[in-house]
Amino acid sequence: MDYSTDIHWRFGQVVTAVREYVEEQMQLGFLELEENENQLRDRTSSYADLDLTGLRELAVACEKCELSKTRTHVVFGTGNEQADLMFVGEAPGADEDQQGQPFVGRAGQLLTKIIEASGLTRDQVYIANVLKCRPPGNRNPKSSEIESCEPYLIRQVMLIQPKVICALGTFAAQMILRTDAKISNLRGNFHSYHGIKVMPTYHPAYLLRNPGGKRQVWEDIQKVMAELNLSIPRPDAS
């Protein structure tokens, strides 16, 4: 193959690779739905001057959607406000609604074990949900509720500036990544949310029903820890 033929062949390979990547991203919904920085700024403009304390005070009094009528407590979020790692779930459950803290029920206890197995504590990460109030009976969030509540999470992320967000479960992953793709297709790889790396993985509540998924979650957590340049302690190291 002469130089001219070779360079054309290589160019064709690059074009094919780019086309395949774009098609894959479009199938996952990323290219159609990606929010630009101006849109993001517009959606959080009313919170632009608030720090996390002010944002929490606003959320605690929030009546922007009908969930305010049935909640016991607003579950804003908890943990290290300078955390490199942020976990984001879907919405509070019954235990969280009662206590006003995220991930404190059975699924939360499993999340705590996962965090501790990775060598961290809950105090070293930040934990929040997309929705700050519990949907009655743990029903799926409505799109109008996500739309109303999402600016709180966006502002939290902007203030905390984590290096990695671990999105727990379908709703959190789909909301953050603006996609309809299944969690089984999203997990295992890093995605981007306004420059922050996002690792979707299964929700701990799913793991309680499907313990077989723990291996995949652990693989995802190992990738997160590697991205943060943190080593996972050996099981016998403590």
CB of 62 to ligand SF4, least distance (A): 3
Judge contact between 179 and 29, C-beta under 8 A. yes
Which residues in 65-94 contact ligand SF4 (CB under 6 A)?
65, 67-68, 74
CA distance 182 to 13: 29
Q: How far is the CB of 132 from ligand SF4 (least distance, A)?
A: 4
Burial class (CB in 10 A: 0-12, 13-18, 19+), 53: exposed
145 near ligand SF4, judged by CB under 6 A: yes
Count of residues touching ligand SF4 (by CB under 6 A): 14
Near ligand SF4 by CB under 6 A: residue from 43, 64, 197, 214: 64
For residues 67 and 224, which CB has a smaller minimum distance to ligand SF4 in the complex?
A: 67
Stretch that binds ligand SF4, among 62-70, 153-161, 180-188, 221-229 (CB under 6 A): 62-70
Contact positions with ligand SF4 (CB under 6 A) in 101-140: 131-133
Distance of closest approach, residue 226 Cβ to ligand SF4, in angstroms: 34
Among 44, 80, 129, 148, binds ligand SF4 (CB under 6 A): 148
Closer by beta carbon to ligand SF4, 51 or else 116: 51
CB of 81 to ligand SF4, least distance (A): 19
Distance from C-alpha of 231 to C-alpha of 73, rounded to nearest angstrom: 36
> Which residue, 65 or 120, has its beta carbon nearer to ligand SF4?
65
Minimal distance, residue 21 CB to ligand SF4, in Å = 36
Q: How many residues does the chain have?
A: 238
CA distance 115 to 119: 7
Q: Which of residues 160-199 bind ligand SF4 (CB under 6 A)?
A: none
- Comparing CB distances to ligand SF4, the nearer of 156 and 170 is 156
Nearer to ligand SF4, 59 or 120 (CB): 59
Residues that bind ligand SF4 (CB under 6 A): 59, 62-65, 67-68, 74, 131-133, 145, 148-149
